Structure 1
């Protein structure tokens, strides 16, 4: 067996997403399984270097997980100057991401990053151009494509279950506590526009790749945004003005005439099975997919409800749907979506295996968020131009 060590500078791992999903459930999980099997007896072994602003927090993480205590740094420039570091990963706040990725590209590092990749479309496109010209490999996290529920949904689409797809309806969100009498589940910067916060900036990049990959490119967007909760309390218990949108209601027209409507809100109480659900309706059948589950109703088993407000409903509409079984993953199980995408990107770095979710794909997400905010501000539907470098 040959072990191929890949050193990865991981910037932003003290944050919730960077720590839980990327460090613990992806890179450390790959190490715990003995590395990534590349075939022919070769194994890729990821070696993380923890980068951030708080040295004591980085050292605490290294100690907690048995990592080399010397493999932590608050000096990004020094880490990027290290020729043994091959990959730069970014999970910082959005406002700090673009400049750091620029430095990493200039240093010749392969790029893997959270989204949005930049605070504006021009910056996102410039990153894609710089990476192309530098000849480095690059990828953007598009984790929801790897969720069990959406993997099941894609299998239905690929198998022609829906016939002609007519529409997609998405519901995402939950109540994020204001922070006064219950601590908030999200960082306070998410609710300050001046710090790069807002649900459109956060979620529209997700909706872009979900719609693009499963149903087709987005051609128009019309959005209404709101800041439903105007005051919140930060991590120190101090009140602050919420200047960013905490809810967005979007309508998207896709190639082929499909209409998608997605509501996103951090000010909604959940009355659905999962925190995100997509209902897809087609001429031959319908499906409702969440994070893990997917239920279907075929044309042949569709009931014939009749509107009658004078009589109580005597049947459970939910019981008329069939559950898609968990037998689509390897061995009947689905791996963590973040880890699955990390493994694909690592294979891409060390081999010629293709990888399509690159910085240009990330720029499409930034574009949709930018146009969504413009649509809400202008009160009109906007076209979504096709991007190119």
Structure 2
């Protein structure tokens, strides 16, 4: 067995997502299992190169996890000129991502980035064109597709369980504290439009790839985006005006006649099993999928409730659904971020199929852009199909 080191420049690992999901939960997890076995006698050994503005924080991370202190940098340009660096990964704030990804493409590095890939669809599409022209491999994080609940849902779809799919209803969100009397669970820039914040910019790219991959291309969008909480407190305890949307209510028409409705909110208290759930209804059956679990109800086992507002309900409706089993044996489910990292590395080094590229990322940015425009104009908008 041959071990091959792959150096990955990781920009933004001092942030929550870059550190927890990508560095620790993905690349360091791969190292703990001995690397990624490519199945051809080669094992890939990820070697993170930590990049960012705060050198002390980066060195603390390197020391905490036993990483090479010589691979800590605050100069991105110097990292990108190093021929030993194979891949550039970006988990910075959205407002500064596009410029860094452009530099990485120009330096001939393979690129993998968090979403949204840019602040606007024109910039996101240009990144896809530049990467394709440069001949580098490129990808955008679309982690929800690789989580157990949606993998089970996809298994039902692939098996024809639903018959003809009629509708999809999604509920996402939780209460994010304002930051005055309890600290907020999200960074303050999320609530400033001038810094690239907003729940539409953050979550609608997710909804694009979930709907597109599982049910079909989005043809139209109608959305209402709003700021329910106009003032919040930042990490230093100072009040600031929340200029970005913190809730959005969207309706999407998909190819094949499927109608999707998704509510996204950082101002909602949770009364469901998971922080996001999707209910899919079809002619032959229905299912409710979260990130971990999925329960289903077939047509043959569907009860016949009777509407009577004057009498108490005698049925426990949730007891009438059946859990969809894991059916994964001993291997189980890898984390969604790690699973996609493994696929991207195999795509880079084995040329295996890959569809979650910068063009797919641009599609998500476009949907967010159109949703905000739909909200501002108060009308339904067509979603053009993007191409290079």
TM-score of the superposition, structure 1-length normalised? Answer: 0.99
CA RMSD of aligned residues (A): 0.6
Over 3 Å counting, the alpha-carbon distance change for 1:332 and 1:108 in structure 2 is closer
Describe the SS at the equivalent of 2:154: helix
Q: 3-state DSSP class of the match of 2:44?
A: strand
**TM alignment of 1:101-112, pairs within 5 A:** 101-112=101-112
The residue number in structure 2 matching 1:146 is 146
- 1:201-240 per-residue CA deviation (whole Å, 9 max, x = no partner) reads 0000000000000000000000001100000000000000
Contact 1:218 1:384 in 2 (8 A): yes
How many Å apart are 1:331 and its aligned residue?
2.1
Question: 1:384 corresponds to which residue?
Answer: 383
Which residue of structure 1 lines up, in the alignment, with residue 334 of structure 2?
Answer: 335
Instruction: For 2:241 and 2:331, locate their aligned partners in 1 and report how far apart those are by CA, in whole Å.
Output: 47
Instruction: Tell me how far 1:330 sits from its aligned partner.
Output: 5.2
Give the secondary structure class of the aligned counterpart of 1:228.
Answer: coil
- The alpha carbon displacement at 1:40 in A equals 3.1
How far has the Cα of 1:295 moved from its partner? 0.4
Note the 1:303-322 alignment, pairs <5 A.
303-322=303-322
Alignment length (residue pairs):
388
Please state whether the residue corresponding to 2:70 is helix, strand or coil: coil
Determine the structure 2 residue equivalent to 1:358.
357
Aligned partners of 1:50 and 1:162: how far apart in 2?
Answer: 46
Give the 3-state SS of the residue equivalent to 1:46 in structure 2: strand
What's the offset of the Cα at 1:333? Answer: 1.3
Q: Please report how far the alpha carbon of residue 332 of structure 1 lies from its aligned counterpart in structure 2 after TM superposition.
A: 5.5
* 8 Å CA contact 1:326, 1:332 repeated in 2: no
Shift of 1:352: 1.7
CA distance in 2, matches of 1:335, 1:38: 16
Aligned equivalents of 2:116, 2:24: Cα separation in 1: 22
- In structure 1, the partner of 2:249 is 249
Distance (whole Å) between structure 1 residues aligned to residue 331 and residue 64 of structure 2:
32
Q: Distance in 1 between matches of 2:330 and 2:356?
A: 26
SS in 2 for 1:39: coil
1:70 aligns to what SS in structure 2? helix
The corresponding residue for 2:368 is 369
Q: List gaps (5 residues or longer) in structure 2.
A: none
Structure-1 residue corresponding to 2:344:
345
In the TM superposition, residue 39 of structure 1 has moved relative to its aligned partner by 1.3
1:116 aligns with 2:123: no
Q: Are residues 330 and 68 of structure 1, via their aligned partners in 2, closer, same or farther at CA, if it must alter by over 3 Å?
A: farther
Q: Distance in 2 between matches of 1:61 and 1:337?
A: 23
Matching of residue 41 in structure 1 with residue 74 in structure 2:
no
1:191 aligns with 2:194: no
CA deviation profile, 1:150-169 (whole Å, cap 9, x unmatched): 00000000000000000000
Q: Distance in 1 between matches of 2:354 and 2:30?
A: 19
Question: 1:291-331: per-residue Cα shift (whole Å, max 9, x none)?
Answer: 1000000000100011101110111000000011122x352
Unaligned stretches of 5+ in structure 1? none
**In 2, Cα distance between the equivalents of 1:341 and 1:258?**
27
Name the TM-score, length of structure 2 as normaliser: 0.99
| Structure 1 residue ranges, 4+ long, deviating more than 3 angstroms after superposition | none
